[in-house]
Amino acid sequence: MKKLIDLTLNDFKLIYRTPSLRAFLVMPGIIFIVVLVLLPMLVENFPSVEPYLPPILIVATFELTQMFGFIYCMVLIEEKETAVAKIYGVLPVSKIGFVLARLFIPTLITTVLTFILLEAQTFYPVAVVPNLVFSLIAGLLVPVYILGISVLAKNRMAGMVWIKVFNIAVVIPVIAFFIPQRFTPLFGIFPTHWPYQGFFSLLEGEAFLWQLIIGLFYLGGLLVIAVRKFALSHFV
């Protein structure tokens, strides 16, 4: 536990001392303002927006994952570019344990922020248990996102490109909301499709838990793959 906190404190030191990364720490604040203040104002003044509230709300919520997603990608890619990652490769620690410990707190913080946002928003009531599952999925997305990009990107330039690609992949399943229903399964290859669909089902009063569970297992599977690939590629 101490190791876990030490690692996180060190990463936060690095983040705090890099102005371009430090700036990203305000991102959840902006999302909270948008969802809790601006969106209600918008709906009040333009009632025609209301039918689009579910996709807006779920996408805004999942954008919470992008803060640590972006920041940690940058930290890890820079660490690899400057060969600091190699030092971890010769320390007496298990590589996989190290990766999991290092990403645990950003995952946890994202989970908690998501939970609070879904509790605090006043548009739709979300019961505690489904909220927890949504929040866990959002949290789990963070390490998958970070490790996936870090494995694929050889340097910061490539990292920026992959971040764009992943960012789009997180948002894109929302299209399923706007197209005929028979096409929606096509978006199932995107992990966030499942919590998005789960959210719509929840609002419709339909069965939604199975969709969330698929999302959870899908991300869990991706996490296992990403951790393994990362452990093989990051430390050499």
CB of 70 to another protein, least distance (A): 17
Residues found in the chain: 236
8 A C-beta contact, residue 67 and residue 28? yes
The owner of tokens 């970070």 is: 146
Does the protein bind another protein through residue 156 (CB under 8 A)?
Answer: no
Does the protein bind another protein through residue 154 (CB under 8 A)?
Answer: no
User: Which of 84, 129, 179, 189 is close enough to bind another protein by CB under 8 A?
Assistant: 84
> CA-to-CA distance for 193 and 74, rounded, in angstroms?
26
CB of 82 to another protein, least distance (A): 6
User: Which of 5, 10, 179, 189 is close enough to bind another protein by CB under 8 A?
Assistant: 10
CB of 112 to another protein, least distance (A): 26
Q: Angle CA(226)–CA(66)–CA(42) in degrees, nearest 5?
A: 145
> CA-to-CA distance for 232 and 236, rounded, in angstroms?
8
The nearer residue to another protein, 32 or 98, going by C-beta atoms, is 98
Does the protein bind another protein through residue 37 (CB under 8 A)?
Answer: no
CB of 232 to another protein, least distance (A): 9
8 A C-beta contact, residue 199 and residue 217? no
Question: First CA to last CA across the chain, in angstroms?
Answer: 27
The owner of tokens 């430090």 is: 22
Binding map of another protein across residues 88-127, x = CB under 8 A, - = no contact = -xxxxxx---------------------------------
Binding segment toward another protein, per CB under 8 A, in 34-42, 86-94, 121-129, 223-231: 86-94
Four-CA torsion 93, 97, 99, 105, nearest 10 degrees = -120
CA distances from 67 to 6, 109, 200 (A): 21, 11, 24
User: Which of 38, 87, 129, 224 is close enough to bind another protein by CB under 8 A?
Assistant: 87
Binding segment toward another protein, per CB under 8 A, in 29-37, 80-88, 205-213, 216-224: 80-88
CB of 147 to another protein, least distance (A): 19
- From the list 163, 170, 142, the residue with the least C-alpha distance to 59 is 170
8 A C-beta contact, residue 64 and residue 114? yes
Which positions ≥6 away from 188 have C-beta within 8 Å? Answer: 194
The nearer residue to another protein, 3 or 164, going by C-beta atoms, is 3
Does the protein bind another protein through residue 20 (CB under 8 A)?
Answer: no
Does the protein bind another protein through residue 12 (CB under 8 A)?
Answer: no
Q: Which residues bind another protein (CB under 8 A)?
A: 3, 6, 10, 13-14, 17-18, 79, 82-84, 86-87, 89-94, 235-236
